[in-house]
Chains A and B, each alone.
Chain A
């Protein structure tokens, strides 16, 4: 089921960042845009 690019909801997720803070994607909703980068190995 191909979804239109401009209407695809980003799946929410939660991970702990390198400084020990829990980060959930949806925490940015209504507040900030997110530039999400998937790196594939140590930078």
Chain B
């Protein structure tokens, strides 16, 4: 998350919003977001409704306890998925930023 915070402006510059869904309680995540000064949207989902929905409806999310990341384009289509192999395994920002650059180029083309 430190990486996402550090590079947040780079995401914004590419016309993207960063949205993090977490299973923790609303109060725990609010305290954490403020303490860590996280600029992005943090959505508490202690009932796992969104993760379940993504897992069941379109098999986007593999079952399990590892993190996942996806890039959804402006049209609402999933264009990139990454499944962590460990709790800390989130792809480097530059990889995600390159995906966003590609999406923005498509729009221009």
Contacts and interface: CB of A to CB of B under 8 A. Distances in A.
B22 A36 contact: no
Contacts of A34: 16-19, 71-72
B59 A2 contact: yes
B72 to A, nearest CB: 4
A42 B41 contact: no
A32 B16 contact: yes
Contacts, number: 151
B17 A35 contact: yes
Nearest to A39: B22
Contacts of A11: 53-54, 57-58, 60
A2 B30 CA distance: 37
Contacts of A5: 78-79, 81
Q: Is the interface of B mostly helix, strand, loop or mixed?
A: mixed
A39 B67 contact: yes
A28 to B, nearest CB: 6
B77 A6 contact: yes
Contacts of B96: 35
Given A16-B26, A37-B20, A41-B87, 16 more contacts: A5-B78, A5-B81, A6-B78, A7-B77, A9-B78, A11-B54, A15-B21, A15-B45, A17-B44, A26-B76, A28-B72, A33-B74, A35-B100, A38-B69, A42-B29, A43-B1
